[in-house]
Structure 1
Amino acid sequence: MSLADKVLAVNDDLPIRTDKPVHSGKVRSVYWLTETDSRRLIQEKGYDVAPDAPLAIMVISDRISAFDCVWRGEGGMNGVPGKGAALNAVANHWFGLFRELGLADSHILDIPHPLVWIVQKARPVMIEAIARQYITGSMWRAYEKGEREFCGIQLPDGLSRDQKLPELLITPSTKGVLEGIPGVPAVDDVNITRSDIVDNFAAFNFRSAADVDLYEKLLKEGFGVISEALAQLDQVFVDTKFEFGYVTDKSGQEKLIYMDEVGTPDSSRIWDGPAYRSGKIVENSKESFRQLLLNHFLDPDILLNKDRMEERTALARENVLPSEVLMEVSRTYVGIAEKIIGHKLEISDNPRTEILQVLKDQYSLVD
């Protein structure tokens, strides 16, 4: 079997029973179950959710996106072997740890296959919550140009690139286009301050102003748990993105939970500890792929300049990357995942067939 066969590149055409359109993102596809199937599974599996909670099957692919484009490899390798399994395994690990330590639950109810989650519908908080422990990337580029205020927080002069920040920095941005919030432009992914959130908590989908404090507490505690665990593996947790939402449990209690994914090589920067101490940056996350792309193309400005989006899209569409580039990414993702979970990663030989088999035999969701 070729490597290309082991890659799940297309994940929005599976014959999973649904009566709604399949939502396909850059990496994950979501199949909302029928009301009948949701109720049946809640009863059969004893999930701790309201009996009428909508459930979905979330299937992760091995596609790789960077600079807002999806990239392909030669030989029909339209993804990175092991990437989806690595992301799911890492996120499952951290969500499980958060639950064990009494922080908060996640949206995941069940894991039928390494590439599949059964999730409950959450009412999302409309914030991409970025937490930063080091000054690097876009923040460093802005700082170097003289910017000192980030999301209403003032940074001191005299910081150097890749240095640890005086304290954990929360730099939130909007998730989606939010209308009618004073001082906040109605565009996706715009930086906001803490006072923007507190003064307009309902517009961001918070239940109360007190829940803004709770989200910050869960963010800081979650970051601390991951940072400490990675430090024991001699890895540096640089920054990450958290997302939150509300769900209702079996007893009718509404609660704030972690959702999306957390602490993965896609949503975080992770540096190798020994290399960092010797003055070098070795990325154990998607950042290494971004650097590979910047070095691979003759005009890296196409990838960095938002005004050249049309050229960038054409670049991704018309170029296949050498398979060794994707294998290098595979080694990075699988390597950091196995470090974190502490055992060998389970990678499917024929993911599509396996997923359909388990969803048919154990969940009766494939006709």
Structure 2
Amino acid sequence: MSVAQSVLAVNDDLPIRTQLPVHSGKVRSVYWLSPEDSARLIAQKGYDVAPDAPLAVMVISDRISAFDCIWRAEGDVRGVPGKGAALNAISNHWFRLFKARGLADSHILDIPHPFVWIVQKARPVMVEAICRAYITGSMWRAYSKGERDFCGIQLPEGLAANQKLDELLITPSTKGVIRGVAGVPEADDVNVTRQQLLDNLKVFGFRSATDVDLYETLLKQGFGVISEALARAGQLFVDTKFEFGYVTDSKGTEKLIYMDEVGTPDSSRMWDAAEYQAGRIVENSKEGFRQFLLNHFPDPDIMLNKDRFAERVALARDNALPLQSFMDLSNTYTSVAEKITGQPIVLSDNPKAEITQVLADQFDLIK
């Protein structure tokens, strides 16, 4: 089996029965089930959701996105071997741990295959909930240029790159374009303050001010759970992104849940603890790939400057990266997943055939 054959690069062409067009994101594709199939599965499987809740099959891919572009490697390798299964395994592990610790549920109802989730539709909070334990990445770049106000939080003078912060910082940004909020540009992924959330609850999708408190609590608790577990594996949990949404359970109770993915090398930075103590940064996340891209091309400003996005898209489209960069990233994803879950990541010879078979046999969802 070649490297190109070992990756699931295209995940929006499976013969899953659905009445809506498949929604394909950077990494995941979502197949929304018909009301009839959703109701049937809820009844058959006993999912704790409203009887008329919309369900979907969410299929992850091995595609690699960085700086909002999809990248490929030599030999027509259009994904990172093991990446999709590793991301799902890590998220599954943390979501189960959150539920066991009494934090909150997630949108996942079933896991029929390492690449697949059965999920319930959530009403998303329009905030990417970012928390940071160290000053690095975009925060450090802004700080080093003189910025001190981050989402309404004033940072002190004299901080150094990669320094541990005195407390966990919550620095939310917009999820999608938010319109009509004073001081918030109408663009995706711009920083917002806690006060702006409180002053515009409906716009950001919160039901109440109490739920702003709750999302912050769940964010801090989730970060703490992951940080403690990673510490036992010799890793530092540096920063991460959480997403939240509302669902209604079988009793008609609306609740705030975790959604998307959580605590993965795609959404988080993780550093080797021993190396950090020795004064070195060893990335165990996608950040290492981002740094590779910044060094690989002669003009790194193309990656960082939003005004040069068209040039960035052209770089991703026209350049095949060294295959070794993808294999190094594959090792990062699979080794992190195996450390966290204690289980091996097994590459599939034919993931599409496996997915189709299990969805036919156990869920009757194939056309």
TM-score of the aligned structures, taking structure 2 as reference length: 0.98
Query: Any conservation in 2 of the 1:248–1:254 contact (CA below 8 Å)?
Result: yes
Cα shift readout 1:237-280 (whole Å, capped 9, x = no counterpart): 00000000000001111000000011000000000111111101
The one-letter amino acid of 1:179's match is R
Q: Does 1:121 align with 2:125?
A: no
Counterpart of 1:345 in structure 2 is 345
Amino acid at match of 2:5: D
Kindly state the Cα deviation for residue 5 of structure 1 after the two structures are TM-superposed: 1.3
Q: CA RMSD in A?
A: 0.9
Name structure 2 gaps, 5 residues minimum. Answer: none
Distance in 1 of aligned mates of 2:59 and 2:343: 22
Which residue type is aligned with residue 222 of structure 2?
A: G
- Give the drift of 1:299: 2.4
2:64 maps to what in 1? 64
1:96 corresponds to: 96
Alpha-carbon offset, residue 22 of structure 1: 0.7
Shift of 1:301: 2.3
Matches within 5 A, 1:69-80: 69-80=69-80
Deviation at 1:304, TM superposition (A): 2.1
Partner amino acid for 2:252?
G
CA distance in 1, matches of 2:281, 2:111: 34
1:306 is displaced (CA, Å) by: 2.1
1:137 maps to which residue?
137
Give the stretch that moved more between structures: 308-317 or 280-289. Answer: 308-317
Aligned to 2:5: 5
Counterpart of 2:165?
165
Residues in 2 aligned to 1:330 and 1:301: alpha-carbon distance in whole angstroms: 26
1:187 aligns with 2:173: no
Q: Corresponding residue for 1:86? A: 86
Q: Tell me the secondary structure at the aligned position of residue 339 of structure 1.
A: helix
Tell me the residue number matched to 1:30.
30
* SS at 2:204 equivalent: coil
Distance 1:184 1:304, change over 3 A: closer
1:295: how far off?
A: 2.0
How do residues 1-367 of structure 1 correspond to structure 2 at under 5 angstroms? 1-367=1-367
Q: Distance in 1 between matches of 2:67 and 2:206?
A: 30
Secondary structure at the counterpart of residue 202 of structure 1: helix
Once residues 300 and 143 of structure 2 are traced to their aligned partners in structure 1, the CA distance between those partners, rounded to angstroms, is 21
Q: TM-score of the superposition, structure 1-length normalised?
A: 0.98
- CA shift, 1:185, in A, is 2.1
Matched residue type, 2:83? K
Supply the distance in 1 between the matched residues of 2:6 and 2:37 (Cα, whole angstroms).
Answer: 30
Deviations 1:41-69 (A, max 9, x none): 00111111011000000000000011111
Q: Give the letter for the 2:4 counterpart.
A: A
Moved more, 34-43 or 317-326: 317-326
Q: Which moved more, 1:344-353 or 1:204-213?
A: 344-353
Where 2:43 maps in the other structure, the secondary structure is: helix
Output one character per residue of 1:103-150: Cα deviation in whole Å (capped at 9) or x when no partner. 000000000000000000000001001000000011111111111110
**Could you tell me which amino acid in structure 2 is paired with residue 33 of structure 1?**
L
In the alignment, the residues of structure 1 paired with residue 143 and residue 302 of structure 2 have an alpha-carbon distance, to the nearest angstrom, of 22
Write out per-residue CA displacement over residues 292-331 of structure 1, whole angstroms, 9 at most, x where no aligned residue. 1122222222222222222211111011112111101000
Q: Is the 8 A contact 1:148 1:155 kept in 2?
A: yes
2-structure distance, mates of 1:162, 1:230:
18
Deviates more, 1:294-303 or 1:260-269: 294-303
Q: Which stretch of structure 1 is more off in the superposition, 230-239 or 341-350? A: 341-350
Residues 66-122 of structure 1: per-residue CA shift (max 9 Å, x gap): 111100111121100000001000000000000000000000000000000000000
Distance 2:307 2:215 in 1: 34
Letter in 2 for 1:47: Y
C-alpha contact (below 8 Å) 1:114/1:346 kept by paired residues = no
* Gap regions ≥5 residues in structure 1: none
Say whether the 8 Å CA contact 1:19–1:33 is kept in structure 2. yes
Report the residue type matching 1:92 in the other structure.
Answer: N
| SS of the residue 1:18 aligns to | coil
Q: Percent identity?
A: 73
How far does the alpha carbon of each residue in 1:190-230 deviate from its partner, in whole angstroms, 9 at most, with x for none? 11100001111121111111111011000000000001111
SS, match of residue 203 in structure 1: helix
Q: Give me the whole-angstrom Cα distance separating, in 1, the residues matched to 2:226 and 2:150.
A: 24
Q: Any conservation in 2 of the 1:122–1:245 contact (CA below 8 Å)?
A: yes
Tell me the SS of whatever aligns to 2:203: coil
Q: Secondary structure at the match of 2:343?
A: coil
Q: Distance in 1 between matches of 2:182 and 2:312?
A: 34
> Does the 8 Å contact 1:238/1:270 carry over to 2?
yes
